[in-house]
Amino acid sequence: MRLAKYLAHGGVASRRKAEEIIAKGVVTVGGEVVVDPARDVDEGDDVRVNGAPVGAEALEVWMVNKPAGVVSTAREPGERQAVVELVDSKARLYPVGRLDADSTGLLLLTNDGALANQLTHPKYEVAKTYRARLGKRVRDSELRRLREGVELEDSPTAPADVSRINDREIEIVLREGRNRQARRMVEAVGNRVVRLRRIAFGPLKIGNLKEGDSRRLNATEIQKLQAAGDGREGAARSGARGRPR
């Protein structure tokens, strides 16, 4: 593991701040001052900052059922609650992607930056599944346009897997992760989202986790996420992309 990442996992600072600390010459590895943030270290190395030992933080992944009004940040300077406050952990956790404050449902938190990047990078096409309650009855033409992809102000979207739950509720699967994408897509076809809930992230489903609750993922669940993040899930489903359900 690179030294800057090791310090970040050890709770010293964010990776960027850790690089600044290393550059000041106050970090030693085995008693030797190191100023290269890319220096490889492992758990057996004696890493210290200003003489104080640093241990790598155990990697954690948590699932949270985010309520409305809670923000998808590690810290919230305002009056709103940050999602990390819903998790009983001392680790430096960060959200994997975001849900806007009005949306609810499954949000992942982790201190594994590599896993978070794999799960959110568009090239890996990790699916996020949402249930959306719409402002008016959904038309067949709207479903067709969503399945084909729609034109947004920044660029066209990829096709989405969309199914009708009832007259005013749909399930939509996205693999791009753009800001407020589900809401913007629905608006682009002439409707609006009045309630949005994420029910699955890759292979993980929210299940019976109550709103506001959280739980730490087990090793099997993390392995499934890693498989999704290395592109295996996207490759397995690419043949079905955009197909009506």
Nearest CA to 216 out of 74, 33, 36, 86 is that of: 86
3-state secondary structure 170-222: EEEEECCCCCCHHHHHHHHCCCCEEEEEEEEECCEECCCCCCCCEEECCHHHH
First to last CA, the chain: 43
Known catalytic membership, residue 100 = yes
Instruction: Show the tokens assigned to 60.
Output: 């954690």
Q: Where are the alpha helices (DSSP H) in 24-172?
A: 113-120, 140-148
Which of 100, 102, 167, 213 does the annotation list as catalytic?
A: 100
Q: Which residues pair with 48 in a beta bridge?
A: 28, 53
**What residues act catalytically?**
100
